């Protein structure tokens, strides 16, 4: 992940994402740079639009966050329905009591 973070830092700083820059960030963080991993990262990011990838990831992260809100709304509706059913049963019992009372 450190290598990806290094690429994101370079992108945010509007610097070229190349082997030399990634290596300098990795080493500045106190990590021994692996040249093979750096080359693989540069090759993997060659055709990637980082802005679009980050935007897509942010949208995907927001979707699951909205799911609990929807689940809460469903639970509240179910609780309201249960309360209405209980009230109806009590009214029916009272009505029967009055008939046979």
Predicted confidence at residue 87, as pLDDT, reads 61
What is the pTM assigned to this prediction? 0.55
Averaged pLDDT in 10-residue chunks for the chain of 101 residues: 91 93 95 94 89 79 64 68 65 58 50
- CA 16/CA 24 separation, integer angstroms: 12
Closest listed residue to residue 51, CA positions, set 83, 11, 90, 91: 11
Torsion of CA 59, 63, 69, 73, to 10 degrees: 130
Q: How far is CA 85 from the centre of its chain?
A: 37
Closest listed residue to residue 11, CA positions, set 54, 69, 58, 59: 54
Predicted confidence at residue 2, as pLDDT, reads 92
């Amino acid at each position: 992940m450190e290598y990806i973070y290094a690429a994101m830092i370079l992108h945010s700083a509007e610097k070229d994402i190349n082997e030399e820059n990634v290596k300098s960030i990795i080493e500045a963080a106190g990590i021994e740079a692996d040249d093979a991993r750096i080359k693989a990262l540069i090759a993997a990011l060659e055709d990637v639009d980082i802005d679009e990838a980050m935007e897509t990831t942010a949208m995907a992260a927001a979707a699951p966050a909205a799911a609990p809100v929807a689940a809460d709304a469903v639970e509240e509706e179910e609780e309201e329905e249960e309360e209405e059913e209980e009230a109806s049963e009590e009214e029916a019992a009272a009505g029967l009591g009055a008939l046979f009372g």
